[in-house]
Amino acid sequence: MRILHLAYEDPRRPGSGGGSVRTLEVDRRLAERHEVTAVVAAYPGARERVEDGIRWLPIGPRTASGASRLAWFALAGIEARRRRADVVLEDFGAPFSTALSPLFTSRPVVASVQWLFAREMRAKYHLPFDAVEAAGLRAYDDFIAVSDWLADELRRRRPGALVEAIPNGVDARAFDVPVQPAEHLLFLGRLDRDQKGLDLLVDIAAAAARELGDAMPPVLVAGDGPDGPGAQAAVAARGLGDVVRFVGRVEGDRKADLLARSHAVLMPSRFETFGMVAVEAEAAGVPVITFDVGPLRAVAGEAGILVAPFDTASFAREAARVVREPARRDALGSAGRDWARQYDWDTIAERVETHLADAVGRARVRRGQPAPRTAAPPTPATPPTTGTPPTTGTPQPGPDPGRTSDGAPVVVAR
């Protein structure tokens, strides 16, 4: 299959979140058997490239502001019309979820929904984002949701649509990192106030410090994002500079080490559609403490510590209890590792592949054409210059696979 992924967020973009991790992990596996192009919002330094078998195509202005994200929504449908593909996979994203790609193409479109919170964006910006989201949902009839909770919400809002819940995953290497003696509490993720609860984290740290006194470990804040400077100012204003430490964005071995040395991972989100950090914490063998919102009860399972929404005093008491009771940390961590093994990226990518192939099959049957196989023969990242792969509907001209949109050679990252 030729898969056009309107992917919204490039994992290389500063401040990118869990959605971009899913894009990378699923698409690089699909690219072993299919031709995959990921259309992402541009950012400073973004360039067209082939990496992990995926063609990454940034569109819109190369700016760090929200203008590049809004431009993506305006341009994604045009890319769906002009790019050759058998199926379009469109990610939903802030602030109003949909790019309305089904209005621009006759190819089958599958909406990949990791975000459905336009109502919260309306409250923040006082603009009718939720009205756009509600109207846009009617353009789609085929959805992948990242949690059962979100799948149920889509079925409620879009009766009669095909909805399948396919979760996010976790890097299998996380299970191999040995748990270390606990040194700190950890916040991991995008530095965002309204969704990730960065302001609530400051309240929790202050309350836990009062309860634990000299036994209070540092709270490490690992990540980047738009609300980092405001959070640092709040920490300084409350005299918590010795307690809360900002360590920047972490990846790879550094991230694994911080997780392994945590008493617990603190996740004070106001809303989530999945909660990838919860699974990462449990895979690393450490407890996660979170508010009982959205899908987090199901995602974290019995190994998670759930607190009544936005009760920061109770959240702080749970954090203090884990610090005081290392045996509880060990028991929850062991149970969490067992629970997290179900979130396997290979299995998840296979399920996405099957869903996309089924969408193509249904479209071809409607046109009187044979349906494709679920697993297509291997396709190189850069298609060969000879031969023309089969197309769905009217063939449309595509770019030279060895050149960028403006004629420059594609950079192949290694």
Helix or strand (DSSP H, E) at 246:
strand 244-248
Q: Does the pLDDT value for residue 387 go beyond 70?
A: no
Give the domains, in start order, of the chain with CATH numbers: 2-169+345-406 (3.40.50.2000), 172-340 (3.40.50.2000)
Q: How far from each other are the two terminal CA atoms of the chain, in whole angstroms?
A: 24
pLDDT confidence tier of residue 15, bands split at 50, 70 and 90: confident
- Which pLDDT belongs to residue 16? 83
Percent of the chain with pLDDT over 70: 89
pLDDT given at position 375: 53
Q: What pLDDT score does 167 carry? A: 95
Amino acid residing at 197: G
Q: Looking up tokens 């299919």, which residue turns up?
A: 34
What tens digit of pLDDT does each residue of 219-244 get? 999 999 889 999 999 999 999 999 99
* Per-residue pLDDT reduced to its tens digit, 250-303: 988 999 999 999 999 999 999 988 999 999 999 999 999 999 998 998 898 878
Cβ proximity of 221 and 185 under 8 Å: no
What pLDDT score was predicted for residue 412? Answer: 45
Q: Report the pLDDT averaged over residues 144-152.
A: 94
Residue 4, C-beta contacts closer than 8 angstroms, at least 6 positions apart: 37, 39, 79, 80, 83, 84, 85, 87, 88, 89, 107
- Poorest-confidence range of 8-17, 117-126, 211-220, 286-295? 117-126
pLDDT score at 367:
86
Residue 322 has pLDDT above 90, yes or no: yes
Q: What is the pLDDT of residues 67-86, one digit of tens each?
A: 888 999 999 999 999 999 99
What would the pLDDT profile of 39-71 be if each residue is shown by its tens digit? 999 999 999 999 999 999 999 999 988 888 899
